[in-house]
Structures are given as C-alpha cells and as structure tokens.
Amino acid sequence: MKRAMILLVILLAGCAGAAPQIAEPPGMEAPKAIESLDIPLPRPSSEADAAYLGLEESTDDFRMDQIKAGVLVVEVFDMYCRFCQGMAPKVDEVYELNLRSGFAGEVKMIGIGRMNTPLEVATFKEKYNVKFPLFPDNDLSVTKALQAQDEGTPHFMVIKMEPGDRVQVVHSYTGAFEDPKAFYHVILERSGLRKE
Amino acid sequence: MRRLLAVSLVMMTGLSWVWICEARGEGLEDNIYPVGKLKPVDSRLKVEVGQSAPDFSLPSLKGEEVTLGRYRGEKNVVLSFVPAAWTPVCSDQWPGYNIARAMIEKHDAVLLGITVDNLPTLYAWTKEMGDLWFPVLSDFWPHGAVAERYGILRSEGVSERALFIIDKQGIIRYIDVHDINTRPDLDALIGALADLSKP
C-alpha cells in the first residue's frame, strides 16, 4: 500500500511537471532587437485596409513605420501552413477584441505572408475573411527585416513604435495560442497599455 | 482503497499523456522526416504538352478506384504528384490547395493528389492535415507505376513534385516538374487553368 501511495505521489508530481508546458502564457520567447521599421510594403489594394493603416491617399508603396499606430502587432503567416489556417479565426478574434477596446486607434494589426505571392495572400484573406491588412512576402525580404526568417509560422510580434522612428519589440511568440482574450491581454500588458 | 489508487493511476497517466500531446502541438510538424536537400529533378519526362495523358486507375483513400479517363468530356484535371508522405514541403503543399478549392473549381477542374505511398500511410498523413476536399490516390503498387509512365519516378523510388493539367479532351496542357525542394506557387497553376478557357 505504501508503495502504491509513493507511486501515486510520483505520478502526480510528473503530471504537475508536464502541465506548465501549456499553462505558460503566450510570449515566453525573448523579444527581438529591431532598430527600425524602415521596411517597404506595397499599398493595400483595399481602400479600407489603407484607411485602417492611416495611409494618405497619395501614398503608394510605404514603409512600415508610416503606419499610424503606437503598437503594431505583426503576424508572420504562410497560406500553406495548416496551423496558420487553424489559427485564423482566433487571430481575427484578437482583431475584433482590439476593435471593441479603447485601443483600436493605438494598436494596429498586419499580416506578412511568408514566401507567399499576392494571389496566395489574397486566397488566405478571402477564405478566412481576415479583416486586417495582409501583405505578400514572396522574396522573404520583409520577414528577414523583421528577423523572423528562422521562426516557424504563425509567428507573432508586438512592436512598440516610439518617438523618433525608434521601435521596440516588446513581445514575440511562435505557434498557436488557445485563448484570444489572454493573447490580447499580453499584447496590452507588454506594450504598457494595460498594467497586469 | 487499492481500486481507488488504480483508477487514479490510470486517470493520471491518461491526463499526463494528453498534456504532453497538447504541449507538442497538433502533431504533423513534429512528425516530419527531415530529408535534407535533394537533387532538384531526378527523372526524365515521358510525356509532353499536347499529347494525350496516359490513362490510369488508382485506389483512393475513400476506398474507390479513380480512373483518369472518367473525367474526359466533363472536367479539367489537375494531377498533383508529391514525393512522399511525412516529408517537408509535401506536408504543406496540399493544405494550401485545401483552401484554393474555389479557384480550382472555378476553372471547371478537379484536383487529384497522388503519391507512391500506400493507403494506410496516406490515411495517417492526410488525417493530420485535416480534411482534404480532393481525392488522394495511392500509386504504391505496382510501385510508382503511374509516375513511371509519366516519367517522373525518381531513382530513390519516390515521384517528383509535379503538376499536370489535363483538359476535358484528355490532352496534357501544362506540366511543371518542380524542384523537389521547393513548393510551386499557386499563381502558375491557377494561371495555367485560366489559360484553358482562352481561345
């Protein structure tokens, strides 16, 4: 009997050790050091997307640091990635949460289609009714500028845009997340918009 | 008391397994066999654009025998050969096609996915991808016979990563024997399908 009790205690301890692997909140990775967002992007074909980013009507190609936001959430995704497909509704929920919060003008979201052509990005956007702007990155130039070329997809970065064109990556995370509310909370908390 | 302990043990074992599985993600990416960089193309085509596509019948995952000729006069056909289950590139090419269904069907086309793997392997692999809308066919036995007839069977026994478009008259209209290490983009395929309807 005593032996059985010891075994049970060991097993419980083992389970307790396994559980934190999913109990950790998203964002345990060390943020990257990016000095600027001088990263060229094409003007979105949708005027609604251009307006969301705060682009002037005359702006064609633009730089990421021209996006009117205090915090930029970037999802590096791949149209072919099954996890990105599965995550699309949850990422959209994060977008909706932000829209309904008091931070809609402060926090903006974009997606970068890693190694995806414009058609592939458009396919993804249409299929999942993605409401925030997505950009193709067939040559990996944007992904590399974000230092995300060695990451899996989806990869999320929360970038705080500071005065003087300086930026700070306050959070980065690769993989799926379970709870959009928890993820949105991390975005606000890491960017200093909401205290823990 | 002993029974209670035994039940607790079983439950805890199950629970810890679930935790571990969830922590690993959903499975597919963790089970991919790394093949390294391969010779881009390792075969010699035996068909060409403009000729009749060799007919074939292959077993599908749904349990039926799919014959290419049955689409003649009715549908354009895209054949997507991928080298092998559980390998990189192949494991995301088809999930991509999974969300391109409307674009393919818009051109009155069906897609047939083919590998030289056997049906049980294809079953386990495609199950990890989620539900694929197109038939997945096994060219396992005689091993790679269809790939061999089209001239895309590589020396190591897998097929090339290749796309063929066959029109409603059964004529091959497009061939892309792609570098096995890279994924063909969707644009070329959809563009070639659009060309079918041009006069």
The confidence score (pLDDT) of residue A4 equals 55
Summarize pLDDT for B40-77 with one digit per residue, the tens: 999 999 999 999 999 999 999 999 999 999 999 999 99
Q: What's the domain count of chain A?
A: 1
Do B16 and B113 have their domain in common? no
Sort residue B54 into left (φ over 0), alpha (ψ -120 to 50) or beta: beta
Do B148 and B175 have their domain in common? yes
In a domain, A183, yes or no: yes
d(CA B61, CA B123): 7
Say yes or no to pLDDT of B174 above 60.
Answer: yes
Q: Do A18 and B20 touch (CB under 8 A)?
A: yes
Do B15 and B73 have their domain in common? no
In a domain, A124, yes or no: yes
Which residues on chain A are in Cβ contact (under 8 Å) with B22?
A: 22
Looking at per-residue pLDDT, the higher value among B172 and B87 belongs to B172
Averaged pLDDT, B116-139: 94
Helices (H), chain A: 2-18, 20-23, 47-53, 82-100, 118-127, 141-145, 180-190
Do B120 and B154 have their domain in common? yes
The confidence score (pLDDT) of residue B108 equals 97
Q: What range defines the domain where residue A103 resides?
A: 25-190
Say yes or no to pLDDT of A19 above 80.
Answer: no
B13, B22, B129 ranked by CB distance to A82: nearest: B129
Do B120 and B81 have their domain in common? yes
Nearest to A46 by CA among A130, A142, A104, A115: A130
In a domain, A84, yes or no: yes
Do B69 and B139 have their domain in common? yes
Say yes or no to pLDDT of B161 above 90.
Answer: yes
Please tell me what DSSP assigns to residue A65.
G
Which residues on chain B are in Cβ contact (under 8 Å) with A5?
A: 5
Burial of B160 from C-beta contacts in 10 A (0-12 / 13-18 / 19+): buried
The confidence score (pLDDT) of residue A134 equals 98
Residue of B nearest to A19 (CA): B19
Cis peptide leading into B54, omega within 30 of 0? no
> Distance between terminal CA atoms of chain A?
46
Percentage of chain B exceeding pLDDT 70: 85
Look at the block and give the residue holding tokens 């009997």: A1
Determine the residue among A87, A119, A126 to mutate to test chain B binding: the one whose Cβ has the most chain B Cβ atoms within 10 Å: A119
Summarize pLDDT for A70-119 with one digit per residue, the tens: 999 999 999 999 889 999 999 999 999 999 999 999 999 999 999 999 99
Q: Using an 8 Å Cβ cutoff, are A167 and A65 in contact? A: yes
Q: At CA B61, angle to CA B56 and CA B62, rounded to 5?
A: 100
Q: Do B29 and A176 touch (CB under 8 A)?
A: no
Write b or e for each residue in B74-98: b if 16 or more Cβ atoms lie within 10 A of its Cβ, otherwise e: ebbbbbbbbbbbbbbbbbbbbbbbb
CATH assignment of the domain containing A182: 3.40.30.10
Summarize pLDDT for A46-70 with one digit per residue, the tens: 999 999 999 988 778 999 999 999 9
Q: What range defines the domain where residue B22 resides?
A: 1-31
Nearest to B61 by CA among B99, B28, B94: B94
Summarize pLDDT for A141-182 with one digit per residue, the tens: 999 999 999 898 999 999 999 877 789 999 999 999 999 999
In a domain, A196, yes or no: no
Q: What's the domain count of chain B?
A: 2
Looking at per-residue pLDDT, the higher value among A190 and B12 belongs to A190
Do B7 and B52 have their domain in common? no
The confidence score (pLDDT) of residue A44 equals 93
A127 touches chain B (CB under 8 A): yes
The confidence score (pLDDT) of residue A142 equals 96
The confidence score (pLDDT) of residue B175 equals 98
Do B125 and B53 have their domain in common? yes
Do B74 and B6 have their domain in common? no
In a domain, A171, yes or no: yes
Looking at per-residue pLDDT, the higher value among B88 and A77 belongs to A77
In a domain, A68, yes or no: yes
